[in-house]
Amino acid sequence: MPQQFIDLILASASPRRAELLRQIGVRFSVQMADVPEIYRLGERPEDYVRRLSEAKARALAAGATLPVLGADTVVVCDGRVLEKPRDAEHAQAMLLRLANRRHQVMTGVALVDQARIEQQVVLTEVAFGPITPQQAAAYWHTGEPADKAGGYAIQGLAAVFVERIEGSFSNVVGLPLYETAQLLRAFAVPTGVVG
């Protein structure tokens, strides 16, 4: 996409975040931010996603002429951060941990330019119904949970496990659109909605 048609840099390789930005009509380019996602012992989950989203945005903002959007999403169950699964055993254990209970999905969103940074942390409550070990194993074999926080994709096959959500659906997918649109307006980044 030619530079003159781009209003934003997305500091994420997540195809889900890119699709969500396209959904609201944002013109952007994608650049990968090389930021290690390492949880610090004792760090609160909301501080963790805030720190990572800012680090991702700042990693690309130094030489950028456009605002940079960074984001990070985690699943939190009983105060414990559940990130992307390491392997099949880890993915299935996470899914079974989430079964028959509520958990939180937190996304930190940071928008940075040469002069300032604005951030939001958004929380969504998700309740899962029962999940059998056989279902957890079958879900892993679909390939869908491999690169997802908490080992599931609410917008995909894992929707059958979701009893209810309270809060932003797009937050669970990876980018809370209402809050992101507010940040974009603050930086004069247009979306597809005018008026």
Kindly list the catalytic residues.
72
- The H-or-E segment that residue 137 falls in is helix 133-141
> Which tokens is 130 given?
């029962």
Distance CA 8, CA 27 (A): 7
Distances (CA, A) of 55 to 33, 100, 109, 117, 173: 8, 35, 11, 11, 21
Q: Is 42 exposed, middle or buried (0-12, 13-18, 19+ CB in 10 A)?
A: exposed
CA 79 to chain CA centroid, Å, is 18
Distances (CA, A) of 67 to 27, 77, 186: 12, 33, 11
Total Cβ atoms within 10 A of residue 2: 6
Is 123:104 a contact under the CB 8 Å cutoff? Answer: yes
